[in-house]
Structure 1
Amino acid sequence: MKLLVLGGTGVISRAIVAEALARQHEVAVFNRGSKNHLFSGEVECIVGDKANREQFREVMKDRQFDAVIDMISFDAKDAQSTVETFQGRSGQIIVCSSTAAYKRPFRTVPTSEDAEQLVEDAAFPYAFHKAEMERYLQQVIEAGELPVTIIRPSLTYGIGAANLGVLRQNYNIVHRIRSRKPLVMFGDGTIPWSFSFAPDVAKAFVGAAGNERMYGQHYHATNEDIHVWQDLYLEFGKLLGIEPELVHISSSMLKEANPDLFAHLYYEKSYSGLFDNSKLKLDLPGYQASISLSSGLAMMLEWYEREGHSVDESKDRLEDRLTAFYTDACSQLKGLF
């Protein structure tokens, strides 16, 4: 099949390119051209900025694809640009949404796609705009204009990730454990969660291409191993042979202190992160997310050390201040009795 990946250099999308190449598909990517060296196989690189909608349509006007995988639409206008650009030029559009788009609290745990509602409150903009995007795409599906498939990953890690950890500390987690410095955990660390990794999620996107059973449908694509949030740090500790020290601060307090950094904890990750993949497995037989938390974090650790990742000093100082705040708060609380 001839596939186009809009993006292609992000954590999930670069794994999609690798999976598509492994399946012998003909692959093109469209992005701003800054990281096209990432690809190990033959990939056509189309350079442009999707935010420039006129330029995007002009670049694509004479191109045809069996399927377009859109990893860089974040609101309804983005999705509309994709649909209008590829109307009559692609056999299918596969769009990356997010489990963040669901209204909380959930009606079902593990969460089932067809039992949930989409966010209507704009307090968490990322989730609201993804939900608005899905509402637009549902109109396209109902109008029968173009085969559309929506895939909703949950929190996904992989090579290139910059989203790992409560503070999105990334390599700093390894640094702090090795330095015997405490790490901040939101709440009591026992929110159930399934941590997913990009190569597993990529199999759902590539498997959806040309799969008529998946036209007009929406799916989770997540790991289903059950963990709790603190397992993320405890598993890193096992890999490093050092038990990490965790301090606990409520997601509400963190969000009030810095909404830009911590809103995702309060609005999304304070609720269960367990998702039912039954629907995907029914329509994509053989699908299985097989990368465990331990092996996935071992992959991340190997990547950090291979590339010589440096400490984010500003994040490290912030975590020092937060852990000191926790210690002071505990002392003041004891003083009340």
Structure 2
Amino acid sequence: MKVLFIGGTGNISSASSRLAIKKGIDLYHLNRGSSNVQIKGVKTLHGDIKKPESLTVLKKHNWDVVVNWIAFTPEDIEKDISLFKGKTRHYIFISSASCYQTPLNYPIITESTPLCNNLWDYSQNKIRCEDLLQQTYREEGFPITIVRPSLTYDTVIPIAIGGFNEYTTADRILKGKEIIVHGDGTSLWTVTHSDDFAKGFVGLLGLTQAIGHSFHITSDEVLSWNMIYRILAESLGQEAKIVHIASDFICTVEPSFTGTLLADKAESVIFDNTKIKTFVPDFKATIPFSLGIKRTLKWLDENPESKFINPESTEKIERVLNKYHSIYE
């Protein structure tokens, strides 16, 4: 099976690339050649998906599957449809679980949960991408599958504030500084290791039955945010100095946190993975957060240049903490 990943060396996609190679898939990456990540067995095509003039390398290829890991707007999707219509048997779009109804009317999420998130431009654009792809599938038979990851990690720290591509909150924990946990920390969430995500995702590649369908792929482990932050702190060998602050308060003081909180992580969600397990029977998430985060922290220790402590985030965290303490203490 000949597969093209647009991207393929990121936090989520690297694990899927490694597993695809392990399963004998003839995998190509299309990228600009700027990534330092090298995955043995992958064939690299150099080009920028946002610059059509650089994509002449694609003209001689037809694909069994094309996966775009880095499409975010309907304009990106329009370019892909133009490029790959008649050139691939299966096209997979990486959407986001943040597209699901926000706030939820029912806390258990299935693929039939409505898509509606008016609080975050990122999610709205992903929904528009999905709508365009579904329309093109219905009207023209373009062979699509939509995949919605949710807070998936490998080389990033999956927390709500001061994490992901930052080491800001981890550094605060190591230095014994206060950290913010939104709400009272008892709302529920799921974090998924990229190696687990890959088991479900690679199983969808070229799966004819999956055409026209949407899937989320997550762990079945459900943790409170208190537990997520405490496990992180324990893995760093420290005790977290948690300050619980209401999400509404945080976003009033720092509106830039609205996307990650009010539009995504402020309330409990539980993902029902029945559908992906039905289509990919071998899929089972086996990496608990207590193990996965240790692997992430080990990788960060081995790649200290990735321990980015964001001064802007630090200022925002301090501003929220100072405002909170000035009112309530």
**TM-score normalised to structure 1 length:** 0.90
> Secondary structure of the residue that 2:134 maps to in structure 1?
helix
**Matched residue type, 2:232:** F
The Cα shift of 1:286 comes to 1.4
User: 2:163 is matched with which residue: 164, 168, 182?
Assistant: 168
Match of residue 204, structure 2, among 201, 205, 208: 208
- Aligned residue for 1:118? 115
Shift of 1:56: 5.6
Cα distance in 2, alignment partners of residues 194 and 279 from structure 1 = 17
Closer, same or farther in 2 for the Cα pair 1:61/1:259, shift >3 Å?
Answer: farther
Q: 1:70 to 1:46 in 2, by over 3 A?
A: same
Aligned to 2:239: 243
Q: Which residue of 2 aligns with 1:233?
A: 229
Deviation at 1:57, TM superposition (A): 5.3
SS of 1:27 mapped into structure 2: strand
Match in the other structure for 1:6 = 6
Deviations 1:97-145 (A, max 9, x none): 111111223243321112x211263x41001001111111111221252
1:252 to 225, 248, 258: 248
What is the identity, as a one-letter code, of the residue corresponding to 2:30? F
Q: Name the SS for the 1:38 alignment partner.
A: coil
Q: Which residue of 2 aligns with 1:304?
A: 300
Task: Report 1:174-185 matches (<5 A).
Answer: 174-185=170-181
Instruction: State the one-letter code of the partner of 2:31.
Output: N
In structure 2, the CA distance between the partners of 1:303 and 1:188, relative to structure 1 (3 Å rule), is: same
Aligned to 1:113, the other structure's residue is in SS state coil
- May I ask how many residue pairs the two structures share in their alignment? 326
The worse-fitting range, judged by mean Cα deviation, of 273-282 and 199-208 is 199-208
What residue in structure 2 maps to residue 128 of structure 1? Answer: 124
Determine helix, strand or coil for the equivalent of 1:150: strand
Post-superposition CA distance 1:270-301 (Å, at most 9, x none) = 22232111001001111112111101111111
- Identify which range, 315-324 or 265-274, moves more after superposition: 315-324
Distance 1:141 1:276, change over 3 A: same
CA apart distance, 1:303: 1.3
Cα distance in structure 1, aligned partners of 2:325 and 2:131: 46
Unaligned runs of 5+ in 1: 332-337
Aligned to 1:335: none
Deviant stretches of 4+, over 6 Å = none
| Residues 74-111 of structure 1 deviation map (CA, whole Å, 9 limit, x = unaligned) | 12221121122111111100110111111223243321
What runs of 5+ residues in structure 2 fail to find an aligned partner?
none
Percent identity of equivalent pairs:
29
**Counterpart in the other structure of 1:100:** 98
Note if contact 2:189-2:223 (Cα within 8 Å) is conserved in structure 1: yes
